[in-house]
Amino acid sequence: MRKHFNGLYGLVRDHLDCNPESGHVFLFTNARRNRLKLLVYDGSGLWVCTKKLDRGCFCWPTGDSGAKKIVLSSEELTLLLGGIDLAHTERRKWYRKAPAEESKESLKTA
């Protein structure tokens, strides 16, 4: 967890193949999972926020074995930061618009 602005920016751009200035929140953890860093671009610059737990560790979600990144909803991020193990929670069936539906709908109203 020695990386800061430029190092995390490079990881997002080169390793995750994402645009660090997209406005998405990128979350990183150390090997022991007792520290994490959050990287986000707010339109005028980068924010890096850090949290170190006094005891215990974050229950990091698992993805596919070959996956470079895991995509979380804002609710899942809140649960993770609150110490909830996402592996033992159950996602309820819930209607959510697909990103393509949202963009089509916004074009209709414009």
Q: CA 40, CA 43: separation in Å to the nearest integer?
A: 9
Least confident range from 6-20, 40-54, 90-104: namely 90-104
Task: Write down the pLDDT at residue 26.
Answer: 93
What residue spans define the domains of the chain?
5-109
Residue labelled with tokens 């209607």? 95
Whether pTM > 0.75 for this model: the answer is no
Take residue 104 and report the two structure tokens written for it.
Answer: 């089509």
Residues 35-72 have pLDDT tens digits of: 999 999 999 999 999 999 898 888 887 777 777 788 88
Question: Over the chain, what is the mean pLDDT?
Answer: 82
